[in-house]
Amino acid sequence: MNPTARFLLGVVVGLAILPAALYLYVATGHAPVATADVAMPMETFFAKIGRKSRIKAEQPKRDLSTFSTADLAAGADIYQKDCAFCHGLPNQSKPDAAKGMFPHAPQLLDKEDMVTDDPVGESFWKVKNGIRLSGMPGFKQSLSETQMWQVSALLAKADQLPPEVSAKLQPKNVNINAPVNQ
Residue whose CB is less far from ligand HEC, 90 or 135:
135
Give the C-alpha separation, 170 to 92, whole Å.
9
Phi/psi region, residue 110 (left: phi>0; alpha: psi -120 to 50; beta: rest), is: beta
* Residue 103: cis peptide before it, omega within 30 degrees of 0: yes
Residue whose CB is less far from ligand HEC, 2 or 35:
35
CB of 178 to ligand HEC, least distance (A): 18
Percentages of the chain per state (helix, strand, coil), in multiples of 5: 55, 0, 45
Residue whose CB is less far from ligand HEC, 23 or 111:
111
Give the C-alpha separation, 173 to 162, whole Å.
22
Residue whose CB is less far from ligand HEC, 22 or 145:
145
CB of 20 to ligand HEC, least distance (A): 30
CB of 4 to ligand HEC, least distance (A): 47
CB of 57 to ligand HEC, least distance (A): 16
How close are the terminal C-alpha atoms of the chain, in Å?
A: 78
Q: List contacts with ligand HEC (CB under 6 A).
A: 78, 82-83, 85-87, 97, 101, 103, 105-106, 115, 123, 126-127, 131, 134-137, 139, 151, 155
